[in-house]
Amino acid sequence: MKQKMFADAALAVGTGQGAATKTTISAKFAKFRELGLLAVIVLICIGVQLRNPSFLTLENINDIAANTAILSILSVGMMLVIITRGIDLSIGATLALSGMIAAMTVKAHPGLHPLAALLLGFAVGLACGMVIGFLVAKVGILPIIATLGMMNVFRGLTYEASGGKWVSAHQMPDSFKQIATGSLLGINNLIVIAVVIYAVAYYFVSHTRTGRQVYAVGSNPESAEISGIKTKRILWLVYTIMGGLTGLAGVLWVSKFASAQGDTASGYELSVIAACVLGGVSIAGGSGKISGIILGAVLLGILNNALPMINVSPFWQNWIQGMIILAAVVFNALVKRGIDRNNLMRRKI
């Protein structure tokens, strides 16, 4: 990532005449970084389609999209967290907690408008995120510890809140279940929500000052602080956003599956982190693109959908998934190496 910034800076400083052509080449190269991932996705799609022709049908694609929607919403929040050199292991627990509280509320008040349920889940998640943000930003605890600890606390609270019971489909009003199964203009609600969130996120990240400040904080926290950016507030904001998105995802989850359990989404955080890292978000902080995490989430979603469909023995599923992920990241790394080498070999600056 540092090399890219170097190259960009050099280009920016470069002479006026060639500047126009050079920026377009650089822009093309940037897209190429995700090319590796895109290639893997296309390859897998072709491979699966050959084994099972019902893979690339509209219905199946709809299913994949709906199942991936929640994962991709969470990836947006996680990307922001990882950019600031942080990590959030508690999202599974936050998701369960907000989902459970939302479900229990609609069970007790069936007349509640679904939007209110969404807001409630969002609020619960927001609160959880604020706590973590406080611990990381104000108290200064390392994110991995803060989120590891709060993961336990939130999960425990979920069990306590539910009193050991589940909320089942017949206890949820239809309006609530419609949140996930309903559709707007023919497209599943979940996909619509995900697209809206992505649009907002893209705008936030590329076109707002706060969004750029997030990258700055992740890139070099000390310089960011010195240059006047309120790092503490940015950190707190990032975890709060993550919490809010997770809370929203929690409501969507229990609506989609029409069931709220205490152990919902246990271990889900690893899938989200995988999606982000696959999408090119660097754990060292400071870089990550929306387009990347879309691809990462899509790849994981496709894997989850495709593996059962090609009739591979369930005992091979894990290994295949792991190998594909490893292959995808290694391939991406090699592609990046090639690009960087190209960049360095260009003598004209």
Partner 1 sequence: MEPRVLTSKKPFTLKGFFLQWEWMLVLLFVAVIVMNVNLSDYFWDYNNLRDATMSFLDKAFIVLPMVFIIILADIDISVGSIVALSSVIMADLYAHGVPMELALIVCLAVGTLCGYINGLLIVKFKELSSVIVTLSTMIIYRGIAYILLKDQSVGKFPKWFNYLGWGYVGSIPFILIAFAVFAVLFGILLHKTTFGRKVYAIGSNPTASRYSGVQVDRIKIIVFTLAGLMSAVTALFLTSRMGSTRPNIATGYELDVIAMVVLGGISTAGGKGRMIGAILAVFLIGYLRYGLGLINISAQTLLIVIGLLLIFAVSVPKLKWKGTGAKGKAV
Partner 2 sequence: MKKVLTLGLAAVMAVTLLAGCGGNDKEAGASGGGSPSASTGQPSDAGGKKRLAIIFKNTGNPYGEKQMEGFKKAVEENGDEAILKAPDQPTAEAQIQMIEELISQKVDAIAIAANDPDALQPALQKAMNAGIKVISLDSAVNAQSRITHVNQADPERIGRTLIQGVSEMIGGEGEIAILSATSQATNQNTWIEWMKKELEDPKYANIKLVKVAYGDDLRDKSVSETEALLKSYPNLKAIIAPTTVGIAAAGKVLTDKGLKDKVKLTGLGLPSEMAEYIESGVCPWMYLWNPIDVGYLAGYTAEALVKGEITGAVGEKFTAGTLGEKEIVADGDGTQVMLGDPFKFDSGNIAEWKEVY
Which residues contact partner 1 by CB under 8 A?
A: 84-87, 89, 135-136, 139-146, 148-153, 155-160, 221, 235, 270, 273-274, 277-278, 282-285, 315-323, 325-326, 329-330, 333, 336-337
Least distance (Å) from partner 2 to the CB of residue 85?
28
Cβ proximity to partner 2: between 215 and 268 the closer is 268
- Show the tokens assigned to 234: 């940015």
264 interface partner picked from partner 2, partner 1, none, CB below 5 to 8 A per type:
partner 2
Cβ proximity to partner 2: between 52 and 291 the closer is 52
DSSP 173-219: -HHHHHHHH-EETTEEHHHHHHHHHHHHHHHHHHHSHHHHHHHHHHH
Q: How far apart are CA 300 and CA 75, in angstroms?
A: 12
Cβ proximity to partner 1: between 69 and 136 the closer is 136
Burial class (CB in 10 A: 0-12, 13-18, 19+), 112: middle
Q: How far apart are CA 254 and CA 98, in angstroms?
A: 9
Task: Mark residues 66-105: x for contact with partner 2 by CB under 8 A, - for none.
Answer: -x--------------------------------------
Q: How far apart are CA 291 and CA 269, in angstroms?
A: 20
Q: Is residue 311 a contact residue for partner 2 (CB under 8 A)?
A: yes
Return the SS3 of 225: helix
195 interface partner picked from partner 1, partner 2, none, CB below 5 to 8 A per type:
none
DSSP 242-307: HHHHHHHHHHHHHHHHT-B-TTTTTTHHHHHHHHHHHTT--TTSS---HHHHHHHHHHHHHHHHHH
Find tokens 């807001």 and name the residue. 119
285 interface partner picked from partner 2, partner 1, none, CB below 5 to 8 A per type:
partner 1
Q: Is residue 285 a contact residue for partner 2 (CB under 8 A)?
A: no
Least distance (Å) from partner 2 to the CB of residue 276?
18
Return the SS3 of 343: helix
Least distance (Å) from partner 2 to the CB of residue 159?
5
Least distance (Å) from partner 2 to the CB of residue 262?
3
Q: Is residue 314 a contact residue for partner 2 (CB under 8 A)?
A: yes
178 interface partner picked from partner 2, partner 1, none, CB below 5 to 8 A per type:
none
Cβ proximity to partner 2: between 165 and 230 the closer is 165
Residues between 158 and 177 with contacts to partner 2, criterion CB under 8 A: 158-160, 162-166, 168-171
Amino acid at the residue 238: V
Instruction: Name the nearest CA neighbour of 268 among 249, 287, 290.
Output: 249
Residues between 224 and 263 with contacts to partner 2, criterion CB under 8 A: 257-259, 261-263
DSSP 47-86: HHHHH-TTTTSHHHHHHHHHHHHHHHHHHHHHHHHHHTT-
8 interface partner picked from partner 2, partner 1, none, CB below 5 to 8 A per type:
none
Sign of the alpha-carbon dihedral angle for 295, 281, 204, 91: positive
Binding site for partner 2 (CB under 8 A): 52, 54-55, 57, 59-60, 63, 67, 155-156, 158-160, 162-166, 168-171, 181, 257-259, 261-264, 266, 304-305, 308-309, 311, 314-315
